[in-house]
């Protein structure tokens, strides 16, 4: 709200804003505050009791399995981000620079369609494709390869992450690059820049902000995803979301699960803020 006392509050605008403010407080700020409070509660005889003890924090953060899980999740989410950004780039590049306006519009429409179906359903369809007697191994069998184990591995987890993130990353990258002023690419060519070199010299610097935001989205989605590591990764490795599930199931340890959740949120905040700061970083000499 306005800090100037002489500026009257616009009641009309406020009325329109109220629902979203209300919603955010009830369903986001409230639960987060409750979760933070809960991380200090105690569990006695499988029942949660209000308290203010640091025992959950010290227990969780001193356990090796927590940190194993933490670094595994950070690493696999980072790998997922790198994979998604690299796989998406050629597609987005082609859509942004080679495709016609109408092709691009159709492609973006088709990329939105996966979001129509539940992510869970899309994940399960991978069973048919990736299992030992699935489609991929069937085809590889014809040329005398395999069968390979793809389900219940890191590879399976990554396939799941790609299912979740790739359409979004392609869309974000395409929109970013399609908005580049094409004259700048021509100017680079005019000044002796080889066609492929324009990607490093001009296109990536110009679309830096959009590319970083696409990467942040990809990391956040992968980091917090439960479905891919649980079903396609087969819980072979415990990611933080799986750890939360395990913790709540074993002995009703909701407070310790809250500790894990707060650690995850802290990490995501740090990554998102660093990323956005990088994306909008002003160069020296800029005012």
Partner 1 sequence: MSAPLVVFDKVQKHFGKFVAVKELDFEIREGEFLAIMGPSGCGKTTTLRMLAGLEAPTHGEIRLNGQVMNDVAPHERDTPLVWQSLALFPFLTARENVEFGLKMRGVDKAERKERALRWLEKMGILEFADRDISTLSGGQKQRVALARSLVMEPQILLLDEPLSALDAHLVIRMQAVLTDLQRELGITFVYVTHSQSEAFAMADRVIIMGKGEIAQIGTPKDIYREPANQFVAEFVGRNNILSGTVESVSKDTARITTPSGEFTVPTNEVRLIKGNKASFVISADLVHIAKDEPKGGNKAQCKLISEEFVGSMVTLFLEDAQGHEFKVQMQERELSKFDLKGGDKIWLSWDTQSAHVLNES
| Closest distance of CB 99 from partner 1, Å | 17
238: nearest Cα among 123, 67, 59, 119: 67
| Closest distance of CB 88 from partner 1, Å | 22
Which two three-digit tokens encode residue 147? Answer: 């069968």
From residue 4, how far is each of 8, 10, 17, 18, 140 by CA, in Å? 9, 13, 19, 20, 70
Beta bridge partners of residue 49, listed in sequence order:
42
| Closest distance of CB 188 from partner 1, Å | 7
Residues forming contacts to partner 1 in the complex (CB under 8 A) are: 181, 183-184, 186-195, 197, 201-202, 205-206, 208, 283-287
Residue placing its CB nearer to partner 1 in the complex, 19 or 285: 285
| Closest distance of CB 193 from partner 1, Å | 5
CA distance 113 to 159: 18
Residue placing its CB nearer to partner 1 in the complex, 20 or 191: 191
Which two three-digit tokens encode residue 258? Answer: 């809250």
Which two three-digit tokens encode residue 77? Answer: 């989410």
Residue placing its CB nearer to partner 1 in the complex, 184 or 265: 184
* DSSP states along 170-213: HHHHHHHHHTS-HHHHHHHHHTT--TTHHIIIIIHHHTHHHHHH
Residue placing its CB nearer to partner 1 in the complex, 29 or 187: 187
CA distance 107 to 100: 10
Residue placing its CB nearer to partner 1 in the complex, 265 or 276: 276
| Closest distance of CB 165 from partner 1, Å | 27
């Amino acid at each position: 709200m306005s800090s100037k006392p002489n500026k009257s509050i616009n009641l009309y605008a406020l009325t329109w804003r109220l629902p979203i403010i209300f919603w955010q407080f009830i369903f986001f700020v409230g639960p987060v505050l409750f979760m933070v409070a809960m991380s200090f509660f105690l569990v006695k005889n499988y029942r949660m009791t209000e308290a203010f003890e640091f025992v959950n924090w010290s227990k969780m953060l001193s356990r090796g399995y927590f940190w194993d899980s933490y670094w595994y999740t950070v690493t696999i989410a980072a790998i997922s981000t790198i994979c998604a950004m690299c796989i998406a780039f050629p597609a987005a590049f082609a859509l942004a620079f080679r495709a016609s306006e109408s092709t691009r519009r159709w492609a973006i429409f088709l990329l939105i369609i996966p979001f129509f179906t539940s992510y869970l359903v899309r994940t399960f369809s991978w069973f048919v494709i990736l299992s030992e007697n699935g489609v991929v191994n069937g085809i590889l069998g014809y040329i005398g390869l395999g069968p390979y184990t793809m389900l219940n591995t890191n590879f399976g987890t990554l396939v799941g992450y790609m299912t979740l993130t790739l359409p979004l990353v392609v869309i974000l990258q395409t929109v970013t690059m399609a908005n580049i002023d094409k004259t700048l690419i021509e100017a680079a060519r005019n000044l002796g820049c080889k066609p492929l070199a324009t990607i490093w010299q001009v296109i990536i610097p110009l679309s830096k902000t959009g590319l970083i935001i696409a990467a942040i989205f990809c990391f956040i989605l992968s980091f917090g995803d439960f479905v891919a590591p649980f079903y396609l990764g087969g819980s072979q490795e415990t990611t933080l979301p799986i750890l939360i599930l395990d913790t709540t199931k074993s002995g009703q340890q909701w407070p310790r699960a809250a500790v894990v959740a707060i650690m995850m949120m802290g990490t995501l905040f740090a990554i998102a803020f660093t990323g956005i700061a990088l994306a909008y970083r002003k160069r020296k000499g800029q005012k």
